[in-house]
Each structure stands twice: as structure tokens, then as C-alpha cells.
Chain A
């Protein structure tokens, strides 16, 4: 059974569909890239999967995550699902973290939930916090745990945000443009980190981005979205190598233009 199965998902507000007829599945350990430009509905789709859509926006169809139907599920049921089944890493690590709470304490929150779920002794949380910060390759984890979000760099904040997502031990990691706000060299480091974490922990990955080269470095399968509709899907190599749809072809041509300008690697 698929870890995530999206069937005929439609997301509507005020009578018109922002996303329609969207179906895809992610198997345990699989990596899917959701490619789209602004207005494609890629972030809405991620929100629908995590049950985070605002009340004015209504999803239809079916989203089953770890065997549980998400659409129409009560908040209590969704809460159980979040963390255990899926966790999200957002684009902007500064707004995703509470500015007034030390990073260590923020990280301890999801850990506490998982420890309760697993019936473990809560005394181990502090050690686990440090271990997690080490796991996302942060230097001086003790210092980071005692720092506030504004006291560390953007790349370090994103590492903490990833650590928070990992704290839940999710089966599916949803990353919504996690490197868009970062510098090129930091982006390369974060991508490498995500790649190794997903592999080592056996998580599935839903990676959302508008950046073709970035997506292609980290996923196996891609799905191209445009104005809420699926354009094309398949393995990275074939979709980005020999795109069949005109829209995908134009995106690939655009990305290749910059790639070619950089010369041979």
C-alpha cells in the first residue's frame, strides 16, 4: 500500500478550482518532486496533504496518508497523523521558527510528543535534542540549542527546521522550497544533508520547488504542475531529459539556457 495516495484531488475557493484532477502516489522511501511556478498550486497541494488548508479553501477527492483519509478528518485525528506520518520543512526558516523561543526548546516540543507516543522516559529529551542537532551537522550543538533564531545564520536555521521535522520521525518528509531563501553554497549543503538524511532514515520525500536543477539533484520522480493541473509525470531523467509536453519543454529549455551559459562542468 502506498504511503501517500492522492486521488482526484481538487482544491477550490469561492467557486473556482485552484487545483483539479490531481492524482499521484508516493511509496515508502520514494522521492517525488512537485515542480511548478507561482500559481501552480504546488504549495496548496502540500497544505492539503498535511491538512493545513485555511477554512476558506475546500479540498475534495481523497488523500490517504499512512492509511488514514486526510480530507474531512477532524483536527484531533490530523494531529495524531502530523509528525508520525508526515512533517513539513518550509521555505523561510526565520518565519517558521518562533523568534522568542530558544532553538533547543523549540526542538524539544516535537520530541516530547514523540517520546509520549512511544512511551519513553521524558528525561532523555535533552540528550536527544543535542543528538538531533548533531545529526543535521550543526557545529557546537550545545551553543545552537541555547541560541535564539535570529542569532544563527539562515542555513543554520534551516538545519534546525529540518531537525524539528526529523524529531517526529516522519515516514514522509514534505519540503516546500526549502532552499529558495538560501545562498548557493548553503543550498548545496542543505540539499546534500536532506539527501543523506532521507536515505539513512528511510523516509519518503515530497520535494516542492520551481527550480528544475535543484529538484533533479534530490528526487527520482517528478510531477509538473501548471495552474493546478498535472502536465507531466515520470522519472526525472525522462521528464527533464525528453519532455513530451510543450510546457515542460519550455521550462526545460529555460533551465538549460542558464545551465549552458555556465559551460561544461
Chain B
């Protein structure tokens, strides 16, 4: 069953230049999806559409059986609860003046989710492998990897169905990256991940499904292993050939 489905989505900031062109794909429950593209591919715009921060110029995005409409405040409240986000830069994505407790609890408060918020925050912290006393501290007291864990805790605290991640590990050191990928993999058991990245290795490690985006067009989509083994489109082939590999 698909959580999200995009049907012939077009988007342009001006009437002439299209950033996204006839983009269609589905996000299925339990199958992490990797959206791979380089700068200028339109992946950032696509994310903004999926977050409901922009509306498609034409085409539809369906959440379950309902069409995503950023102007419908009631719908958006349900949607925000179901779809959360992790950003690339763990320095810019956490407010330096808030304590970790308030950062993680923000979705709970803003979406007026009932229950004990402190307990929910504590549970999220445990899940991302951070100590309970982190709640009283400020972001600057943590390393880049730990900060990304805080950002992940914020994304999962409201128990969303879908987590959108924008290059969530590419700013991290290699050894930290492995651990965060491991963490995201575990979260995949309870929620579905859409990872937007230029890093094929990370996408391959996390996502069984993949969409390749080039200049606003989906050039190839499907099963990750199949596409990596036998890429059909020349751009996909170039992308795969460009990934530096370890010496044999």
C-alpha cells in the first residue's frame, strides 16, 4: 500500500523554467525510498513539495487517498504528524538557543499531541542512543553526529509514518555516518524513510527502492539492486561509474 503517490507533478518558480517535469512515483509502506540526484536535479524542490511547503504547479500528490493541499489547515495538521523531516546540516537544523528537551518536544507541542511530552522525549532520546540527561543541555554541547541524533529524535517523537531525510548523513564523518545509517535502518522497522541524497553508497545501504532524478525528470526508478546491477539510462550509468570505490 502506498503512503505517498505523486502523479505527473510539475513545478516551476516562474512560468518558463520547470524545476520538476512530470514526476511520478510512489512511496510504499515499509520500503525505504532513495531519491538520488545532483545539484540542479530538483531534489530540494521535490522535498519542499512533499513537506507541503510549496504546491505543485500541476499534478497531484496523494497522501493515502487524500490529495495533499497545503492550504487545508486541518489536513496539514494530520499530515505534519504523519510526515517529519531530518536535515543535512545538524548545525543549522537545531535552534542554538533552545534546550534539547524543547527542540525534541516542538512537534508534540505545535501539533498539540496529547500525553506526557517529557516521557515521549525521553523515549525518543533512548531510541536514538542519547543519554537521558541530554534534555537539559544545548545543541552546541554535542558533536555533529550527536546533533544529528537529536534531529532524528525530533523527527520520530510524534511517531510519524514517514520520515523525509535530506542528505541526512553526508555532513558527517565516515565512522559517525555508519552509526547514523545503522540507526536509520533500525527506525525503518517502524516507519518508512525517504532519503534524498547524492550518495549512492548510503542510498544503497538504506533503501530497497530508488528514484534517479536528473534536471527535474525521473530518468529511472525501481528496485535498487536491479538498477545498480543493470542501469538502463545513460545518466544512471554515469552516476554509478562516478562513485569512487575502495581498492580491491
* With A38-B173, A183-B38, A254-B174: A263-B245 Cβ-Cβ less than 8 Å: no
A residues 168-211 in Cβ contact with B at 8 Å:
183-188, 191, 210-211
With both chains docked as a complex, state the minimum distance between the C-beta of B157 and any C-beta of chain A, in angstroms.
28
CB distance A251 to B202 under 8 Å?
Answer: no
CB distance B242 to A258 under 8 Å?
Answer: no
In the complex the two chains form, what is the Cα distance from A157 to B202 in whole Å?
27
CB distance A185 to B228 under 8 Å?
Answer: no
Please tell me if B247 contacts chain A, counting CB pairs below 8 Å. Answer: yes
Chain B residues in 8 Å Cβ range of A263: 204, 225, 228-229
Residue in B38, B174, B228 whose beta carbon sits within 8 Å of that of A184 in the complex: B38
Please tell me if A77 contacts chain B, counting CB pairs below 8 Å. Answer: no
With both chains docked as a complex, state the minimum distance between the C-beta of A28 and any C-beta of chain B, in angstroms.
24
Residue in B144, B174, B245 whose beta carbon sits within 8 Å of that of A265 in the complex: B245
With both chains docked as a complex, state the minimum distance between the C-beta of A38 and any C-beta of chain B, in angstroms.
6
CB distance A236 to B246 under 8 Å?
Answer: no
Please tell me if B244 contacts chain A, counting CB pairs below 8 Å. Answer: yes
With both chains docked as a complex, state the minimum distance between the C-beta of A34 and any C-beta of chain B, in angstroms.
15
CB distance B238 to A185 under 8 Å?
Answer: yes
A residues 225-265 in Cβ contact with B at 8 Å:
236-237, 240-241, 250-252, 254-259, 261-265
CB distance B244 to A213 under 8 Å?
Answer: yes
Please tell me if B17 contacts chain A, counting CB pairs below 8 Å. Answer: no
With both chains docked as a complex, state the minimum distance between the C-beta of B141 and any C-beta of chain A, in angstroms.
16
Chain A residues in 8 Å Cβ range of B245: 213, 217, 259, 262, 265
In the complex the two chains form, what is the Cα distance from A213 to B239 in whole Å?
15
With both chains docked as a complex, state the minimum distance between the C-beta of B134 and any C-beta of chain A, in angstroms.
21
Chain B residues in 8 Å Cβ range of A259: 201, 245-246
CB distance A255 to B246 under 8 Å?
Answer: yes
Q: Taking CB as reference atom, which chain B residue is nearest A239? A: B247
B residues 152-177 in Cβ contact with A at 8 Å:
173-177
* With A216-B244, A255-B246: A262-B174 Cβ-Cβ less than 8 Å: no
* With A38-B144, A183-B38, A261-B205: A251-B174 Cβ-Cβ less than 8 Å: yes
In the complex the two chains form, what is the Cα distance from A257 to B245 in whole Å?
11
Chain B residues in 8 Å Cβ range of A265: 245
With both chains docked as a complex, state the minimum distance between the C-beta of A203 and any C-beta of chain B, in angstroms.
21
Please tell me if B66 contacts chain A, counting CB pairs below 8 Å. Answer: no
Chain B residues in 8 Å Cβ range of A264: 229
Chain B residues in 8 Å Cβ range of A214: 244
Chain A residues in 8 Å Cβ range of B229: 263-264
Residue in A154, A185, A240 whose beta carbon sits within 8 Å of that of B246 in the complex: A240
Please tell me if A37 contacts chain B, counting CB pairs below 8 Å. Answer: yes
Please tell me if A70 contacts chain B, counting CB pairs below 8 Å. Answer: no
In the complex the two chains form, what is the Cα distance from A60 to B144 in whole Å?
30
Please tell me if A212 contacts chain B, counting CB pairs below 8 Å. Answer: yes
Chain B residues in 8 Å Cβ range of A236: 247
Please tell me if B200 contacts chain A, counting CB pairs below 8 Å. Answer: yes
0 or 1 for each of A32-53: is its CB under 8 Å from B? (1 = yes):
0000011000000000000000
29 chain-A/chain-B pairs, Cβ below 8 angstroms: A37-B173, A38-B173, A184-B200, A184-B239, A191-B244, A212-B174, A212-B246, A213-B243, A214-B244, A217-B244, A240-B247, A250-B175, A251-B174, A252-B246, A254-B174, A255-B246, A257-B178, A257-B205, A258-B201, A258-B202, A258-B204, A259-B201, A261-B201, A261-B204, A261-B205, A262-B228, A263-B204, A263-B228, A265-B245
**In the complex, the 4 A-B pairs of residues with the closest C-beta atoms, listed nearest first:** A258-B201, A188-B242, A261-B204, A213-B244
Which residues of chain B have a CB within 8 Å of any CB of chain A?
A: 38-39, 144, 173-178, 198-202, 204-205, 225, 228-229, 238-247
Since A184-B239, A212-B174, A265-B245 are in contact, a sample of 19 more A-B pairs with Cβ atoms closer than 8 Å, ordered by chain A residue number, is A37-B175, A183-B198, A184-B38, A184-B199, A184-B200, A184-B243, A185-B242, A216-B246, A236-B247, A251-B174, A254-B174, A254-B178, A255-B174, A258-B199, A258-B201, A259-B246, A262-B228, A263-B225, A263-B229
Which residues of chain A have a CB within 8 Å of any CB of chain B?
A: 37-38, 154, 183-188, 191, 210-214, 216-217, 236-237, 240-241, 250-252, 254-259, 261-265
